[in-house]
Amino acid sequence: MTTDMPILRVAGISKAFSGRWAVSNVNFDIQRGSVTALIGPNGAGKTTLFDLITGHSRADEGKILFNQQSIVGLPPHRIARLGLARSFQFPRVFSGMTVLENLMVACPEQPGEHLASLFITPRSVSDREAIGRAAAEEMLEKLRLEKKADHYAGTLSAGQKKLLNLAQVLMTEPSMVLLDEPMSGMNEGLRSTIFETIISLQGRSKTTFLFIEHDIEAVMTYAHHVLVMVEACVIASGTPEAITSDPRVIDAYMGDLQFGSL
Would you tell me which residues interact with ligand ATP (CB under 6 A)?
Answer: 17, 22, 40, 42-48
Return the amino acid letter for 31. Answer: Q
Nearest distance from residue 40's CB to ligand ATP, in Å? Answer: 5
Is residue 25 within a helix (H) or strand (E), and if so which, with residue range? strand 20-30
Comparison of 41 and 112: residue with beta carbon closer to ligand ATP:
41
Nearest distance from residue 203's CB to ligand ATP, in Å? Answer: 29
Nearest distance from residue 250's CB to ligand ATP, in Å? Answer: 19
Query: Would you give the DSSP letter of residue 156?
Result: S
Comparison of 177 and 230: residue with beta carbon closer to ligand ATP:
230
Distance from C-alpha of 19 to C-alpha of 117, rounded to nearest angstrom:
52
Residues 6+ apart with CB under 8 A from 78: 55, 71
Comparison of 173 and 181: residue with beta carbon closer to ligand ATP:
181
Nearest distance from residue 46's CB to ligand ATP, in Å? Answer: 4
Plot region of 14 (φ>0 → left; ψ -120 to 50 → alpha; else → beta): beta
Nearest distance from residue 218's CB to ligand ATP, in Å? Answer: 15
Nearest distance from residue 239's CB to ligand ATP, in Å? Answer: 22
Distance from C-alpha of 134 to C-alpha of 122, rounded to nearest angstrom:
13
Distance from C-alpha of 257 to C-alpha of 174, rounded to nearest angstrom:
36
Comparison of 42 and 69: residue with beta carbon closer to ligand ATP:
42
Listed residue (139, 137, 131) closest to 111, CA to CA: 131
Q: How far is CA 74 from CA 70, 97, 107, 121, 199, in A?
A: 9, 30, 22, 33, 29
Q: How far is CA 18 from CA 12, 15, 22, 182, in A?
A: 20, 10, 10, 29
Comparison of 101 and 180: residue with beta carbon closer to ligand ATP:
180
Comparison of 43 and 75: residue with beta carbon closer to ligand ATP:
43
Nearest distance from residue 50's CB to ligand ATP, in Å? Answer: 8
Comparison of 22 and 140: residue with beta carbon closer to ligand ATP:
22
Q: How far is CA 65 from CA 12, 60, 80, 84, in A?
A: 12, 16, 14, 11
Nearest distance from residue 128's CB to ligand ATP, in Å? Answer: 38
Residues 6+ apart with CB under 8 A from 60: 14, 15, 16
Comparison of 38 and 139: residue with beta carbon closer to ligand ATP:
38
